[in-house]
Structure 1
Amino acid sequence: MHTPTETPSPMNWLTLLEHEARALLAELDAHPEARRLFDGSIDRDRYVHYLIQTYHYARWSTPLMAEAGRRMKRQSPNSWLGELMQQKADEERGHERWLLSDLRQLGWSAERVERQMPNPATTAYVAWNRFTSRCGRPEAFLGTAYVLEYLSVSRASQSVERMLAADTIPNIRKAVTFLRAHGPTDEGHVAELTSLLGSLEEPEARDALLLSARTTRVLYLGLFA
């Protein structure tokens, strides 16, 4: 006899969301290239590669999140999350300029950065979030945001401290603006997201967030390729 699947309770579904973020941390810790960033042993070329790929997705954060927020306010039963999405879009505004500043300190002009093609994982990440923001479930971008902010809280400050201690990259002290800004700031963002998402009751919206969190986890590893 078929037994209907029970809808996860708010606590259970948030546990699943946190699991995706924790799984990404474990996978990155096991990835040789990512581990070099976290332990401070990364060299200049690898760090430049990481910053360039991050720039190519971060530049889209504000416009896509703002677009998702507008759609949610117009047509989603969870329109109250639209305000949160637009707030987060404002929080992300200008972060790509921090990346360009860091890269300039490492000898890369903005024009040279723009000429670099994003790798397949970065391209797929942007395409996925463009799809969910424009014609998919706009709530999904909050799953992406949760995973990336969880990662920042857990690893950004550590990476900065260890790169500065190693001091193997010329001018590194002036090239950690992006990472330095994300550690302590995102801690409050994760707590806020967790609190607000606990009120999300629609199963389809929860599924969209979980799928986007999982997609982000899979694609983020590719930034280091």
Structure 2
Amino acid sequence: MAPPSAGPTSSTTAESRRLRGILELALPVLLVQGRRLMGHPALRELYPRYLVLAHTKIRASVPLMETALAACRRLPDDPVAVLLADYLEHHVPEERGHDEWLLADLAAVGVAAEEVRAVVPSPSVAALVGAQYYWVQHVHPVGLLGYIGLLEGYPPAPEEIERMRTATGYGAEAFRTLLLHAELDPHHGAELDELLDALPLTDAQRNLVGLSAITSVQLAAAALQELLDRA
């Protein structure tokens, strides 16, 4: 996950606008940590560790969405689950391989893939992803959209990526994942908005999506803070 930018990726209505509002109220705690990262005097040394942190999150994304898709398929009479399944069937293939992008970026800064794969995720990362598994399996898979809203809704700005390149001195090959997300996430965010605005959410489902979004922001911020506090 890239350091988030401060603005959403698309115009929104109804449910998508509600989720965006929740995320933007929660986002400052994550933006603070993103600014700490961007302004850190040892950013060159921190950047590989930041990519490793991102990998511990992103390598869980496709398995998590596949779990949500399986949960949707167990609810064939649930109109929300049916629409969510259609979205996930399209979205999962688009997300495959993003962890490999990060491994390529890490190789460009001298970190071997086997070293990255051996990293045990921090408790904050485990809680970030684990909360989604719990809600998907034991409440309703639509809760995952709060998490996806954070991941897809706030891509890094190209000028921020360029500042990181300048500050670290690393070549463009070390920023492939950030650059690709800056390009792809606005489209993905628009697709998510379209889905949200089509879902006949109950009040309980709407509250779950909001809870998922707030929790995702808080735990993503905690994970980044842990990295920076150890620097």
Q: Which has the larger radius of gyration?
A: 1
User: Does 2:213 correspond to 1:213?
Assistant: yes
Select the residue among 22, 25, 39 that pairs with 2:24.
22
> 5+ residue gaps in structure 1?
1-9
* Equivalent residue, structure 2, for 1:108: 111
- Per-residue deviation, 1:213: 0.8
SS of 1:175's partner is helix
> 5+ residue gaps in structure 2?
1-11, 227-231
- Higher RCO structure, 1 or 2 (CA under 8 Å, sep 6+): 2
- Per-residue deviation, 1:151: 1.8
- Per-residue deviation, 1:40: 8.6
Please, what TM-score do these two structures have when normalized by structure 1? Answer: 0.83
**Maintained 8 Å contact 1:143/1:209:** yes
**What aligned pairs does 1:142-161 form with structure 2 within 5 A after superposition?**
142-152=145-155, 155-161=156-162
**Maintained 8 Å contact 1:65/1:86:** no
**Maintained 8 Å contact 1:70/1:86:** no
**Maintained 8 Å contact 1:65/1:133:** no
* Equivalent residue, structure 2, for 1:188: 187
Which residue type is aligned with residue 161 of structure 1?
E
Distance 1:67 1:142 in 2: 13
> Which deviations, in whole Å up to 9, do the C-alpha atoms of 1:145-190 show, x marking residues without a partner?
11111121xx2533312122x2x42433210011111012110111
Which residue type is aligned with residue 17 of structure 1?
L
**What aligned pairs does 1:86-125 form with structure 2 within 5 A after superposition?**
86-125=89-128
Which residue type is aligned with residue 179 of structure 2?
R
- Per-residue deviation, 1:30: 2.4
Q: Say if 1:42 and 1:20 are closer, same or farther in 2 by CA, change over 3 A.
A: farther
The farther-off stretch of 97-106 and 62-71 is 62-71
**What aligned pairs does 1:49-128 form with structure 2 within 5 A after superposition?**
49-75=49-75, 76-78=78-80, 79-128=82-131
Please, what TM-score do these two structures have when normalized by structure 2? Answer: 0.81
Distance 1:18 1:59 in 2: 25
Q: How many residues align?
A: 210
Which residue type is aligned with residue 164 of structure 2?
M
* Equivalent residue, structure 1, for 2:163: 162
> Which deviations, in whole Å up to 9, do the C-alpha atoms of 1:4-42 show, x marking residues without a partner?
xxxxxx9554333112332354333323xx214456966
**Maintained 8 Å contact 2:30/2:217:** no
Distance 2:63 2:83 in 1: 19
* Equivalent residue, structure 1, for 2:135: 132
**Maintained 8 Å contact 1:119/1:223:** yes
* Equivalent residue, structure 2, for 1:175: 174
**Cα RMSD, aligned residues only:** 2.2
- Per-residue deviation, 1:82: 0.8
Distance 1:82 1:17 in 2: 19
**Maintained 8 Å contact 1:73/1:83:** no
SS of 1:198's partner is helix
- Per-residue deviation, 1:45: 2.6
Distance 1:212 1:42 in 2: 33
Q: Say if 1:57 and 1:74 are closer, same or farther in 2 by CA, change over 3 A.
A: same
Distance 1:130 1:120 in 2: 15
Distance 1:161 1:25 in 2: 22
Which residue type is aligned with residue 160 of structure 1?
I
The farther-off stretch of 155-164 and 122-131 is 155-164
Which residue type is aligned with residue 46 of structure 2?
R
